[in-house]
Each structure stands twice: as structure tokens, then as C-alpha cells.
Structure 1
Amino acid sequence: MDPTSAAFLYAENRQMPMHVGGLQLFEKPEGAPRDYVRQIYEQMSEVEEMAPLFLKRPTRGITTAGQWAWTQDDAFDLEYHFRHSALPKPGRVRELLELCSRLHSTRLARERPLWEAHLIEGMRDGRVALYTKMHHSLVDGISAMRLLQSVMTTDPDKRDMPAMWAARPGKKTEKARDEAEHSLAAVPLDAMRTALGITADAAGLPAALVKTLRSGLKNETSALSLYAPRTMFNTTITGSRRFAAQGWPIERLRAIGKASGTTLNDVVLAMCSGAIRTYLIEHDALPDSGLVSMVPVGLNAKQSQSASGEGGNAVGAVMVKLGTELHDPADRLAAIHGSMKTGKEALGSMTQLQIMAMSALGMAPSIVTPMLRLHGIIRPPFNLIISNVPGPRSVQYLNGARMTGTYPLSIPINGMALNITCNSYADDMDFGLTGCRRSVPHLQRLLTHLDDELGALEKAAGVA
């Protein structure tokens, strides 16, 4: 097992389960029988051969010299990993999110392959839900999204789509699984390995590091942050989770960006900034200085390997000042746009290898600090992670069921009790908020604040 994947296993404990998850909602096809969900469950359970990724089990002992290694589970039990559940009445979205919160709180059993899937019925509006979780040592959020897309279709009449865990030929599926096997979480490690070679990129790493540290010391946007204030989110967490989710029409966000000369990603960050500001004010916990978020960015190979916040592989990271100390939503959006622009320009001056190496260095404190139990002793490197993952641009179907939304669940860690991840899907931007149930009380209030902030941004941009 590569050290990056092993790090997620070493860092994991009861308070910090290290799995990512996803919640998809589906509308039944017209004329679906009463036992439609049961039929889908049985169809997805009829798997002749499992894909290798879903049989990988972690192990360590004398034979592995005490190091984590992957082995194949020869006693695999699909019934354990794939479960059929139902919501209690009245079957609202509230009950669904509460169930997902509980499911996301429990660690995956290490004596088995590190994944679970739950097909959920009982929603009073007739929709069906699918909650999945996979350990971060197996995949990251983007890889998990690609795996899901590999078994979806734009054809509402196609009924022979196999389960995500079924082995099957096909370039689309093989590519998705290859990318999942080589999780994007391991890319910074590959950059470090390559940097050990005698290359022009490696020769430039010391200069890039000095430049990055200089920017950090000046409190400028870069791959490193040295000035994040301590907030109520930067504390010791429990193992219990709360999950909240909601989607907004992506055209509303684009209209704000167009009117203000900012990007879609800037608007997402501004929504989060305003929502967090209001939430902290409600709890009399807003610090005087602005919060800092780590924001994964993609690399646009067509533009000389410069960084892009509009999608792509999340192989770089920018530390963005969220402007939470500013009262006016337009000022916050402008500050975020400037911070992102400066950060992307800084990454754009580096080669791809240098970007990955600097990003790995910037992320290191968020992994090392909880591993060494230093949270509360040293200042947080940043206050939270806000990720924007590109998703399918067209409406997707799973064996005739239309997907109406897809919401990501992520990983709070000690010292960082809140994680916000969103992904685009067709005409919507779907937000998933995952937090420690005790450290982030009434997390669902953030959804109201996000909605209010979107309206405030529309008004400030003159598109309301």
C-alpha cells in the first residue's frame, strides 16, 4: 500500500472515520410496480464477478513487516456490504439525512473490504435513495464520482446497467476504476517521488518553496497558510456526524458570476463565506480576522499547466481568505475572487510537479496534526475545506430511475469539525455539509444561511 493511502488508515480512529460518501436521489420510472425497489436491490445483488477494487481488504502483520498492505478478501459477503433499508414515517428528507448522518458516523470494518452501499426506500414523495461510503485509502471524492458515473446512463429506457461493484468490460468502466485505483489523493506522493529525481522540476523546488513560504509569511494567498484564526470549528471532535444537503439552480450562481466578473467557484465560496459568517455570529463566535479555506483546484493542461478553479483533477490547493470579517456580500465576493486569482497565478508560475509538491506540503499539517494529537496546541493551518467537484452535465438514469440530485459526504477531522463539498449535476449545484454533531450544533442552519447568502449576492450583483 502506498504511504498516502496508509496515512488515512493510520490517522483513523473512533472519532475520525476516514471515509467519503455520497447520497443520490432517484425518481422511480413511470408505472413502476410496488416492489420496484426490491427488484432493483435483487438486480444489483446478482453479481457474477466482483470488480477487484471492491475486494481489496487492508491487512498488516508479520508477513507485511508491520506495514499496511492490500489483500483480496476470499470470503467476500455482498449481503454485508450492500443493504436494503427503509425510512421511518413520515419519510421526509429530514429522516433521510438523519439516517445518512448515523451511517456516516460508523467506521468501516477493517477485516472486510472498506465500502458499504445502502438502497433506501420509504420516502413519502416516492423517491429512492442510494447512500454509499468508501474509505479514503481506496478512493477520493472525484474518483468515487467517476465510479458512480460509469454505471449511469443518459438513456431512460436502458435497464441492464450493472452495479458499481460488478466486474464488466468496457473502456468507460475500466478507465473509471483505473482512476479510482490510483486515487487522486496519491498524486502529491507521486510528485514527491518524482522530485527526488534529477530533473528541472526538482531543481526548481527549493526556489518554489522559498517563494511559497515568503507569501505565507506575508499573509498572501498561496499553497501554505500561516494566519488562520482559531474558530469553534477548530477543536477536538467526536465520532458522531451530522449531514445536511441542498441544491440550487446553477444558473443563479452563473448569473452572479457574470454580473460581477467572477467565476462560478468564487460564487460558491462566497455563499459559504456568508453562511459561515452568519452562523458564527449566531453563536457569538466570529473571529476578528477572516477565515481561511483550503480549496482544491484543477490543472488545465491546455493552458501551460496553469491552475484552474473550474474543474479538472484536483491536484493542487489554494488557501483562500474568505473575507468573513467583511459585512458586505459584494466585498466578500470581491475579496474571494482576488484571493483565488492571486493563488492560481502563484500556482500558474510553477510546473505541475511543483504545484503538487507545494500542495502536499500545504495539506500536510491537516493530516499530521491530528495524527500527532497536536490540535489545540498549534494554530490551525486553515479553518475548513471547501471543495467543488465537477459532476455530470446531463440528467443521469440508473436502470430507468431518474437521478434528481447527488450530494457528497466528506471527512471532518480533529481540529477541523466542518467540511463543505459540492458538486454540479445537470442544472444544479448540490451542496453536502458534513460536521461533528457536537462541535457544529444545528449544522442544518447553514443551509438556510446559504440560501440567504445566494439571495444577498444576487441583490448585490443586480440580478435579483
Structure 2
Amino acid sequence: MVSLIDPTGASFLLVENRSMPMHVGGLQLFEKPEGAGRGYGREMYESMRDVEEIAPLFLKRPHRSLSTAGQLVWVEDEQFDIDHHIRHSALPNPGRIRELLDLSSRLHGTRLAWERPMWEAHVIEGLRDGRVALYTKVHHSLVDGISAMRLVQSTLSGDPDLREMPPPWDARTRRGRQRPVTTDTESGLAEIPTQALRSALGITAEAAGMPGALIKTLTKSVRNETSALSLHAPRTIFNQKITGSRRFAAQDWSIERLRAVGAATGATINDVVLAMCGGAVRRYLLELDALPDAPLVAMVPIGLKAKESQLASTDGGNAVGSVMVQLGTDLADPADRLAAIHTAMVDGKEALSTMTPIQIMAMSALGQAPAIAAPMLRMSGLVRPPYNLIISNVPGPRTTQYWNGAKMVGHYPLSIPINGMALNITCISYDGNIGFGLTGCRRTVPHLQRLLSHLDRELVALERAVGA
């Protein structure tokens, strides 16, 4: 079976290179089940490796040829090798979290090859406290952050006594959840050009509304207001060409602490996350004597209710877009920074809520296009960056989760730095905490781990400033 790769997925495949792998990752920490022996790490690895049938999603690899009219399609890997995708590793002494993060950094900097399905999982033991870690990575053309989170959740349970739970790539995980009929994006190679034409014609149904959406976006951008497009981001050390080497740092904080700050100010938890990041980046750049006078701008993906689309193929409802938010790094007072961010986020969401899903995607793509075009045209550092870093927040399980009796005690995301955007901050909520995952170019963002201390100091400063 052959399926057409959607334009967003294809762009992730085409834009990547050795310095810019385009996969997302996750790091989970598990406590061994009660009574588990010293060989539990190997048992966990073998149970994830020895599956009878692989789910179709995890068999797909990209392909392009004359028979596909030059378009990228998914084909099934007929020589699938499970041992290539499931790995077993051990940390060197002394087995601290530092060694785990170092290993995760190296694994995350390695590009996935097109000739195989684009995913890996590494069971990692050797932590001195006895916990076992699982690092996974999946190409962004296969799943986005939300989909990756759902894959993880589909294999977890709130029941510590439940056993025989398959890993995400086991076909049993999603059996019965997929539609049995073939969709209009799954067919023979001869149908691929027709599918592309059908999609192009469908998009024109909303073309009449595009000029108005564009004018609104450009007007707000020129006025330096929150929009899907930014024209006022300053140059920073983050906005340089990057290498393929990665550094990853992670830590979590209590959601109740963030909620208390938000309740005292009328802000959302996501606003508080942005304020923490803005303050931490300010402290970090001040240490390096590299803080610009103008506030840094973050690209923030958001989910919102969009106006019902006129496309027959679109269900409407939830849409995902992005806004460019000033982080208030020019403001010394943390309360002032939070207030500015809250106002900006409300304004940005209201602007996008007047658009249809297609218009939201088009305007968001417009805002992100310079970030891709500049490195492709070898103009990084010569033109003003469209934004300075990426900050996203993904919802996760609200209660304690288990995998075959092993309690998940930590969940941290690894994301994608790109040329001209050397730092990515992604957060995932889980069981009363919010885990921050900081992924950066090892050379362009020196001493990245210091940002964790700055995040903690900034949360304390916010609590004091608002009396939370």
C-alpha cells in the first residue's frame, strides 16, 4: 500500500540535513515493578522487541521516484529489521541523570535514514537509583508532538497491576482503532498525481478569504502586535547556523505552583510557562553579555477553536496555528513580563479565531517561511530572524501511569533546533508536574543546562512578585 505524504510532512523530509535532523523525541523514566530483579532492563527491552506484528505506521518509509511523479510517498518496508529499531543500552558509572542526558543528547543528534522506517527506541539501564529509561525518536513527517503524546498514552495504564501491555509499534496497540476502508490518500502509484490535484483544487475554495486574512496579519505585524508573522525580532546568539551536535537538559516543576501564579494574575498556565522562559532567557543572555535591547520573540504553537471551514473535507473545530509572542526580555520586573505576555497571547488567539483552519495554516506558514528560507538561501545571519526560539506546551496524562507495572515517574520531550533557531523549549504536563525539555545546538548555545537554574529562579521571582 502506498500513501501520499502530506505537504507538511514532505517539507520536514526535504528541509533536513546532517546539521538539522527533523525528528522529535521523548525520554521517560520508569521505576521497576515491585519484585523485579536485576535483569528487569533486559526483560523490558525483550518485551518491546519481541512483537508478532508491527503496526503499519511503524513500517512506513519515504520514497520518491518517476513512478510517483516526483512526489514523496510512504511505502512499506519489505525488509523490516526490528533489531535496528529497538536498542538496549547501559550508562557508564556513576549512572547519574547527567550521564542519561548526555546519552540522550548524542542519540538525538543522529539523523534517521530514509531507507528504513524513521523511528528508534532505546531501553537504557544503569541509573544508580535503579530506574530504567526509555528514549524514543520519531521523524516529524510521521507524527507531530500531539500525536507522539497520544502514542505514548495508548500504551500506558493507570492500573499498576495490568500486564501484557504492548509497546506503541505493536499492531495490537491500535487494532480496531483504524478505519478498515482505504482513504483517498491511500491507493496505487498511478493515483498520486490525481490526489495532489484534488487537494490543490480543494484549497482554492477558501482563496477568497485569504487576502483579508493576509491584510490582518501584515497590519498587526507592522504595528509590532502579536500575530502569526513577526517583523521585529532582534538578532541574538540563537539565530545562527547550527551543527548536528545536540545538548539536552530537562527538569520538572509542580503545576500547582504555576497555577497559583496564574490565578493571582488572571493568566493561564501557558502564559506562566512563557514568562518563566522569557525570564530565564533574559538571565542567560545577561550572563553572556548578549541581551539585545528589543524583546526576544518566540514562535508558540497554539490550539484553538477556529471558525467553521468551507472545505467539505474539513471538519472544523480544533485547529493548530502559531503566534509570534514577545517574551518581555526587555522588562526587568517578572510581573510586568507576565502581564505583557498574557495580553499578547489573548490578542494573538483572538486574531486567529476569526480565521478558518486553512487560513490559520496559511498565515502560520507565512510566519515560519523566513526561518526555513534563510538557511536554504544561505542568508542566516544576514537577514533579521522571524523569531528567536520556539516554545511549545503539550498536554499529557493527568494521573500516574504504568507500563506493565513499571511506574512512569518522569516524561520529558526532545525537539528540533533548526538553522537560525538554535534553541527549542518544549513542555509536557504529567501527573501534577510540567516537564521542561530544552534542546539546543551544543556549539551555538553554550552551557545550555544553566537555563534550568534560571527557570527555577524565575518561577520563584514570579511567585514573590504576585504573592502566589
- Taking a change above 3 Å as real, the CA distance of residues 107 and 122 of structure 1, as seen in their structure-2 partners, is same
Pick from 428, 431, 436: which aligns with 1:426? 431
Confirm whether residue 381 of structure 1 aligns to residue 404 of structure 2.
Answer: no
Does the 8 A contact of 1:120 with 1:130 survive in 2?
yes
Report the CA distance between 1:193 and its aligned residue.
4.5
Quote the Cα distance in structure 2 between the aligned partners of 1:18 and 1:370: 15
Equivalenced residues, count: 444
**Rounded Cα–Cα distance in structure 1 between residues aligned with 2:140 and 2:239:** 21
In structure 1, what is the Cα distance between the partners aligned to 2:236 and 2:326?
A: 14
* Alpha-carbon spacing, 1:263–1:172, altered in 2? closer, same or farther (3 Å): farther
Q: How much does 1:195 deviate?
A: 6.4
C-alpha distance 59-147 of structure 1, shift in aligned 2 (>3 A) = same
**Structure 2 residue 461 is the aligned partner of structure 1 residue 456:** yes
Q: Please, which of 2, 5, 15 is the counterpart of residue 6 of structure 2?
A: 2
* DSSP-derived class of the 2:348 partner: helix
**Structure 1 residue ranges (4+ consecutive) displaced by more than 6 angstroms after TM superposition:** none
Residues 85-124 of structure 1 show CA distances to partners (whole Å, capped at 9, x for unaligned) of 1100110000000000000011112211111100000101
**Deviation of 1:67 (Å):** 3.5
Task: Tell me whether 1:132 sits opposite 2:139 in the alignment.
Answer: no
Query: Hey, what's the Cα distance between the residues in 1 that align with 2:459 and 2:176?
Result: 36
The 5 A counterparts of 1:21-420 are: 21-168=25-172, 170=174, 174=178, 193=200, 196-198=203-205, 201-300=206-305, 315-420=320-425
Give yes or no for contact 1:147–1:173 (8 Å, CA) kept in 2: no
The one-letter amino acid of 2:203's match is L
> What's the C-alpha RMSD, in Å, of the aligned pairs?
2.3
Greater mean deviation of Cα atoms: 12-21 or 345-354: 345-354
Taking the aligned partners of 2:55 and 2:321, their CA distance within structure 1 comes to 30
Distance (Å, rounded) in 1 between the aligned partners of 2:176 and 2:230: 38
Q: 1:367: Cα distance to partner?
A: 2.4
1:371 CA displacement? 2.8
Going from structure 1 to structure 2, the CA distance change for 1:125 and 1:390 (only over 3 Å counts) comes to: same
CA drift of 1:385 comes to 0.7
Distance 2:12 2:357 in 1: 24
Deviation at 1:2, TM superposition (A): 2.6
**Could you list the runs of 5+ residues in structure 2 that have no partner in the other structure?**
187-195, 310-316
SS of 2:460's partner is: helix
Structure 2 partner of 1:308: none
Which AA in structure 1 matches 2:220? S
Residue matched to 1:185: none
Q: Which runs of 5+ in 1 are unaligned?
A: 183-188, 306-311
- The AA in structure 1 aligned to 2:47 is Q
Shift, 1:365, TM fit: 2.0
What code does the residue aligned with 2:248 have? F
Whether the aligned pair in 1 keeps the contact of 2:221 and 2:231 (CA below 8 Å) is yes
Map Cα deviations across residues 41-78 of structure 1 (whole Å, 9 max, x no partner). 11111111111111111222343344332211111110
Cα 1:71/1:352, change in 2 over 3 Å = closer
Task: Give the share of equivalent positions with the same residue, in percent.
Answer: 68
Contact 1:239 1:436 (8 Å CA) reproduced: yes
1:398 is aligned with what amino acid?
A: W
Q: Distance in 2 between matches of 1:137 and 1:263?
A: 30
Q: 1:209: how far off? A: 0.6
Give a deviation string over 1:110-153, Cα, whole Å, max 9, x none: 21111110000010111110000011111111111111111111
The secondary structure found in structure 2 opposite 1:385 is: strand
1:393-434 per-residue CA deviation (whole Å, 9 max, x = no partner) reads: 111111100111110000100000000000111100000000
Secondary structure of 1:334's partner?
A: helix
2:313 matched residue in structure 1: none
How far did 1:334 drift?
Answer: 0.6
Contact 2:279–2:458 (CA<8 Å) still a contact in 1?
yes
| Normalised TM-score (structure 2) | 0.90
Partner of 2:216, secondary structure, is helix
Q: 1:296 to 1:169 in 2, by over 3 A?
A: closer
Deviation at 1:174, TM superposition (A): 4.1
Measured after TM superposition, the shift of residue 304 of structure 1 is 7.7
Where do residues 433-452 of structure 1 align in structure 2 (5 Å cutoff)? 433-452=438-457
Is the contact between residue 267 and residue 342 of structure 2 (CA under 8 Å) also seen in structure 1?
Answer: yes
**Rounded Cα–Cα distance in structure 2 between residues aligned with 1:433 and 1:257:** 23
Partner deviation per Cα, 1:160-184 (whole Å, 9 max, x = no partner) = 1001101126578549xx9xx99xx
**For the Cα contact (< 8 Å) 2:151–2:168, is it kept in 1?**
yes
- Using the alignment, how far apart are the partners of 1:252 and 1:304 within structure 2? 36
The separation in 2 between residues aligned to 1:314 and 1:23, in whole angstroms, is: 27
Whichever residue aligns with residue 370 of structure 1, its letter is P
Aligned 8 A contact 2:9 2:142 in 1? yes
